[in-house]
Structure 1
Amino acid sequence: MSTNTREIAASPADVWKVLADGWLYPLWVVGASRMREVDDHWPQVGARLHHSVGSWPLLVDDETEVVESLPHELLEVRAKAWPGGEAGVTLRLEPLDGGARTRVTIEEDAKTGPGRLVPKPLRDLPLAWRNVETLRRLAFVVEGRQAP
């Protein structure tokens, strides 16, 4: 499993507001290019984001489903990107500095499909690179909302 962390200059509640707004997903998730629909009960367990991955004209319509959700603490999803397969992604929020900052940890690994056949060290490297950028974008969105 690939694991990355980043500290964000905002409270876990403020980070959660971005995670809980499914329409913002393509702003911070590397590879997601557009939203088609967000279930009304996102980010509750079973809710789905209906999105597209890739770049035009090579877009694949797919979805991401919530597996576990603890507001301000944890969001676990199963991201689908067929024909590539499915990935398990967990975001953990840890308050720092009395809740003024948040350590966000993202863990990701292939769960099904052809991606699972790639040896772990070879699939961890691109996931790590991707998720450094994903956390960077998440920080920009969250911290940008904090700016006066």
Structure 2
Amino acid sequence: MSATPEQVWSVLADGWLYPLFVVGASRMREVDDTWPAVGSRLHHSVGTWPLLIDDTTEVLEVEEERRIVLRARGWPAGEARVEILLRPTADSTVVTIVENATAGPGALVPKPVQDVQLHLRNTETLRRLAFVAEGRAR
């Protein structure tokens, strides 16, 4: 991304922005005051109106401007562990998402099938995150 790790992190650290870049997130209902501290949560909805499901995403681990690990919930589909890594380069940031279904029906899907679906979803998520981070950097 044509943005510094600090600029990308500023987007990740603003929980109200998640529906702008996370594929499937429809709206934000509440963001804990301590976001993105360990244990804090985003209270979001997934799906398309009028078929919305209210759930949460919780911070499991955080290294400011470097890494965040989330437990993303979207029941009845299940839960996933999502790790977002930021690696600085000379004039940009390489952002990587590693996601694995950990509970619910999604965890029963064979890993090679999960990988294809998640790759497509997370490629679009990264594209959207770049639009937001780069747009704010200008």
- Scaled by the length of structure 2, the TM-score of the pair is 0.99
Question: 1:32 is matched with which residue: 25, 29, 33?
Answer: 25
Which consecutive unaligned segments of at least 5 residues does structure 2 have? Answer: none
Per the alignment, residue 117 of structure 2 pairs with 126
Written as runs of structure 1 = structure 2, the 5 A alignment for 1:1-148 is 8-97=1-90, 100-147=91-138
CA RMSD of aligned residues (A): 0.5
Instruction: Specify which structure has the bigger relative contact order, considering alpha-carbon pairs within 8 angstroms and separated by 6 or more residues.
Output: 1
Between the aligned partners of 1:20 and 1:143, the Cα distance in structure 2 is 15
Aligned residue pairs, count: 138
Between the aligned partners of 2:51 and 2:114, the Cα distance in structure 1 is 22
Which consecutive unaligned segments of at least 5 residues does structure 1 have? Answer: 1-7
- Scaled by the length of structure 1, the TM-score of the pair is 0.92
- Could you list the runs of 4 or more consecutive aligned residues of structure 1 that deviate by over 3 angstroms after TM superposition? none
Between the aligned partners of 1:49 and 1:23, the Cα distance in structure 2 is 8
What amino acid sits opposite 1:111 in the alignment?
T
The C-alpha deviation readout for 1:39-83, integer Å capped at 9, x for no partner, is: 000000000000000000110000000000110000100000000
Identity value in percent:
63
Between the aligned partners of 1:142 and 1:110, the Cα distance in structure 2 is 27
